[in-house]
Structure 1
Amino acid sequence: MLPDKFKERMKQFLGEEEYNAFITAFEEDRRYYALRANTLKCDVSFIKNLPYITGNIPWEETGFYYAENATPGKHPYHEAGLYYIQEPSAMAPVSYLNVQPGDKILDLCAAPGGKTTQIACKLKGQGLLVTNEINKDRAKILSLNIERLGIANAMVLNETPQHLSEVFEGYFDKILIDAPCSGEGMFRKNDNAADEWSVDNVLACAKRQAEILDLASKMLLPGGRIVYSTCTFSKEENEDNIYAFVNRHPDFKEVDRRRLWPHKDHGEGHFLCVLERDGELVNDGNRYIPGGKNVPVKKDVLKPFYAFCDETLKKGALEKLMESKNIIMFGKQLFLAPTFMPSVNGLKVLRPGLHLGEIIKDRFEPNHALALFLRPEDVNASFDLPSDSADIKAYLNGQTLRITEDIKKGWCLVTTDGYSIGWGKASGGMIKNHYPKGLRINY
């Protein structure tokens, strides 16, 4: 049931004729389901040709609608990070961010990670993505999605916008603000959103969004771009906020704007606006690194890691992995970070780059994230499990695999249809399962 006050406001906003079409859309069940190809791991054509794909998303070339009765979230390809399931209209804002490989980008309100992973695909492994979520539990989910999709150039933070604006003043080329909002565009998808709606909440959200916009503006370079988006219809949270922001910041101008409507577009509700700052964007590679550079780990400490690489990776794979990157250490945990990644000092960091693994005494234990980043051609030993087999279900359930193939003893990359999905350790006709316990699936 839609709140009466909400309906009154929308009728006044849209006019009677369009309002009737708008309300009729809410009387229908949600009809459109979508996913987006992870081009860091697979070709768009591979996803496009999956049997349950029904069409392309008009505003995102790597996005596709899928049949309502399909369950791509339960398929091994999902665990291998080949795609991200995302509401269709939510794919629009990043398409307007004009991401270029090599950019330094901030996703300020990033959980659960749909737009962050979309940005990462467009960066093509180059540049830097700082992705932030103020809620710690949601930040953990964000971090897991970055891991699943094999993203190596992202720094995951659990910070306030206020603190970020102090650390990163004048640093980013592009900023995405998918602002927390009253969620009117999710009424058809989520019944609780309608139950929690009120005019007071709309106004409170608008006030909070204005503060976030002001803080984000401090972090953008001259000539840079902000895309502001919400999944709500209210004018206060959208056009009114943008109008007031531009008045407060005369060095910014609005260059584009779009609304997606459930009665017009094949998706739920969304608003986006493109803001650009006066000036010329210069990306010369010499800009400062907030907080100073991360201190690389001493080579003698890394002996177990290099021993693992000698045994597990093919010749040249380590050099490719380490190109323009530094290994940094959190306790016993090793991460691979771009050389220009901001210092972890003074920040609440969940993931400073690619999680390589852990040094335990004199040995190295690889992390699941490293498996999802690597490809079969990078390793000496891999073992493939067809995505429609009982074996892949057993692996994802944490079971030991019995094999007849002659596989070198030690770490091996487990794949499904040629795509990496986790680690195993081969010995005596068996592969001991190293799929993380917290991710295991009971089929």
Structure 2
Amino acid sequence: MELPAPFIERTRRLLGADYDSFAAALDSESPVSLRLNPGKSHPTEVLGEAVPWSAQGYYLPERPAFTFDPCFHAGAYYVQEASSMFLGRVIAQYIKAPVRYLDLCAAPGGKSTDAIASLPAGSLVVSNEVIPNRAYILAENIVKWGSPYSIVTRNEAADFARLESYFDVIATDVPCSGEGMFRKDSAAIAEWSPAGVARCADRQRQILDDVWQALRPGGLLIYSTCTYNTEENEEMVLYLMNRLGATPLAVDTDPTWGIAPALMPGVTAYRFMPHLTRGEGLFLAVLQKPGDADESGRNRLLDDTQGKRNKAKKGKTGTPAVPDEWRDRLAAPDRFDFTVHNDTLLAIPREYQADYRLLAQHLTLLHAGITLATAKGRDYIPHPALALSTALDLDRAPRFEADLPTALAYLRRESIVLPGNLPRGYLLIAYHGFPLGWVKNLGNRANNLYPQEWRIRSGYTPDNLLALPVEHI
């Protein structure tokens, strides 16, 4: 590949004698890797070489046509480059109890789904993206991952300052100059410039200033980029240390992994370089906010929200009840509070009901908990989030196990033909045990309820499909 001359000059200064090996690596093929969803699938045989720093990550020998694998659409796994899976290693080392976690720049959802899978059970993950089209892609991927302990928002970083000391952990995979994506994305090369690096660094400082208020004392900030220069990496860590008083923390690694240290003295950070590690470019640092662990700020926010709710409820008849038939679709309905919002039935984990109200008060929510169904006249139409949720009781949901051609027709939102012995009404369509979504079986035909915006748009099915040896839990 032809790299910009200023990039070559700058990076050669940084890497010295290693530059030629680095440049040669950029001309090689990108590794292919995926990460299993432990809430949905487990391997029945060896998938491939394990990503050494990830509990659920695997390298594949070649890149199959993931788009045409129904298991991919069911959220059985996430296609993610291996370096980014290092987040799970950080979480495993430092987070031992349930937390409130913010992924600030989360689209398309790789690090959010890793956080959901890696955090202690019962943690709440808020995934945010400010750009509208990217935010809806994020919401789709979070819904498919299936965790009821997830919320998706579409907000500026400054909006989170209202939530003073609310989050225990904030991950900031900040917008950057994208040098680490040169091997995978030729557009990143065309868009790169030294001025762009400076603009990104200014924006990153602003994002960090805006969101710092929302991190509780003693909380963790995970800072990452997919770029190589020091302006957006080590210098940003020094900014967090010198301006905001953050303390860098070390992450346990194995020397055989080839993870490089920071390029500036006084900085603790981790660099994934394509000539040293089997993955794309990544920079990551973990920093702790000064102060003892203190939840009083968050408790004040939650108490204030509860007080406003109690005041608003006086004299009102309350929201409509969620019908029992929809509560009973969940395997453990007692773990949830149920509510109706704009003719939509929602299930929110009981321990986070006050958090849901607080976040809905201050942020723009695209998804929260489990969307069970939406009202249409006197009927309720089951929502795809219910089909894809790990909390769904599969024993109480009539379903049809589709073969590959039928599953792909369903995912293309085409008409499908069901056997005549199936009950009428709403049915799950599943593939290898993984629910994909709903149809309404009318007997002589079935209405395909797969979301129009999620559909596979290609009618062509390639030969290199992935035969993933996993089973549904």
Task: Point out which structure has higher relative CO (alpha carbons under 8 A, 6+ apart).
Answer: 2
Tell me the residue number matched to 1:395: 410
Please give the residue correspondences for 1:33-432 in structure 2 after superposition, counting only pairs within 5 Å: 33-43=32-42, 45-46=43-44, 49=46, 53-97=47-91, 98-100=94-96, 102-123=98-119, 126-165=122-161, 167-250=162-245, 252-256=246-250, 257-281=269-293, 287-289=299-301, 292-293=305-306, 301-302=320-321, 305-308=323-326, 313=329, 317=330, 320-329=332-341, 331-337=342-348, 338-339=352-353, 340-341=355-356, 342-373=358-389, 375=392, 377-386=394-403, 389-404=404-419, 406-428=421-443, 431-432=446-447
Q: Give the letter for the 1:249 counterpart.
A: L
Q: Structure 1 residue 399: deviation in Å?
A: 3.7
Alignment check: 8 A CA contact 1:182 1:201 kept: yes
Give the number of aligned pairs: 424
Of stretches 146-155 and 65-74 in structure 1, the one that deviates more from structure 2 is: 65-74
SS at match of 2:49: strand
Contact 1:94–1:176 (CA under 8 A) maintained in structure 2: no
Q: In structure 2, the residue corresponding to 1:57 is in which secondary structure?
A: coil
Please state how far the C-alpha of 1:430 moved relative to its aligned partner: 5.0
Q: Which residue of structure 2 lines up, in the alignment, with residue 11 of structure 1?
A: 12
| Deviations, residues 74-112 of structure 1 (Å, cap 9, x unaligned) | 201011110111111122234314444521001111111
Contact 1:344–1:352 (CA under 8 A) maintained in structure 2: no
Q: CA deviation at 1:125?
A: 5.6
**What is the CA–CA distance in structure 1 between the aligned matches of 2:180 and 2:146, rounded to whole Å?**
30
**Are residues 92 and 224 of structure 1, via their aligned partners in 2, closer, same or farther at CA, if it must alter by over 3 Å?**
same
User: 1:268 is paired with a residue of what secondary structure?
Assistant: coil
Farther-moved stretch of structure 1 (70-79 vs 404-413): 404-413
Equivalent residues of 2:148, 2:368 under 8 A apart? no
* TM-score of the two chains, using structure 2 as the length reference: 0.83
Give the deviation of 1:322 after TM superposition: 4.8
Give how far 1:35 is off: 0.9
**Aligned residue type for 1:348:** T
Query: Could you tell me how far 1:426 is from its partner in structure 2?
Result: 2.9
How big is each residue's C-alpha offset from its partner over 1:317-352, in whole Å with a ceiling of 9 and x where there is no partner?
Answer: 36x1351434251x2223322313234124222123
Using the TM superposition, give the Cα deviation of residue 402 of structure 1 relative to its aligned residue in structure 2, in angstroms: 3.3
Higher mean Cα deviation, 134-143 or 390-399? Answer: 390-399
3-state SS of paired residue (1:391) = helix
Q: Which amino acid aligns with 1:420?
A: P
What is the rounded CA distance, in whole Å, between the counterparts of 1:65 and 1:99 in structure 2?
26
Give the unaligned 5+ runs of structure 2: 251-268, 461-473
Q: What secondary structure does 1:61 align onto?
A: coil
Q: CA RMSD in A?
A: 2.6
Provide the residue aligned with 2:22 in structure 1: 22
Q: 1:370 to 1:284 in 2, by over 3 A?
A: farther
C-alpha distance in structure 1 between counterparts of 2:60 and 2:277, whole Å = 16
Distance (whole Å) between structure 1 residues aligned to residue 386 and residue 231 of structure 2: 44
Unaligned segments of structure 1, at least 5 residues: none
Deviation by residue 1:171-196 (Cα, 9 ceiling, x = unmatched): 11111000111111011111111111
